[in-house]
Amino acid sequence: MTTRRMSTRSIAGPRLTNRSASNRKEQLRDAALAYLVEHGLTGVSLRPLAARLGTSARILMFHFKSKEGLMTEVMEELHARLQASFLTLSESSDRSVPPLKRFWLWARDRNNFPYLRLLYESQIVAARNGKQYGRHLKKASADWQRLVFQRLSESVRSREMATLCIAVFDGLFLELIVTGDRLRLTRAMDYFVAIARRSGKDA
């Protein structure tokens, strides 16, 4: 399967690590991700999903062992692509827009919005099934904490501020999913960024 570089206006391309070792498995994972981005997780079961992917439930079981195994790998890939996009955006030479705001503008774009919608939908499903997905949730949370912490300016860099940034982004994006009010929520993001900057100057 060929890969290509994609602009930061769309979701980052799949990772290349170990692709030759499990190429068919990665193709199925990526196809499942694409399907779920379009259709969501509601009512997903293995046999209908396999039919949509042009394969069989037996083949999915062979590669992923269970529906939960497939969902875990899809969620991990989704997180990896989103985190890669966040890193790309945060490395911009334009320092007038902080990384959190830059990622917000990228995420609210109609090309990228479905990926974030699936992210939050999958987290809700995973939170209700902690036995199967608890390890994934903890790792994803730790990875986001680390990335955001590293991208904060020195004047406000702390684990508490990283936690607050993630919580504000999560809350605003969930509200965006519900209301679609991009203008009001972007203004709210601007307001939070201004508060955070003031706290850095006052420290």
Question: Are the C-beta atoms of residues 120 and 176 closer than 8 Å to each other?
Answer: no
User: E strands of 12-109, at which residues?
Assistant: none
Residues 6+ apart with CB under 8 A from 154: none
Query: pLDDT digit string (tens) for 136-185?
Result: 999 999 999 999 999 998 888 999 999 999 999 999 999 999 999 999 99
Burial of 80 (0-12, 13-18, 19+ CB in 10 A): middle
Q: What's this model's pTM, rounded to 2 decimal places? A: 0.84
Q: Where are the domains of the chain?
A: 67-202
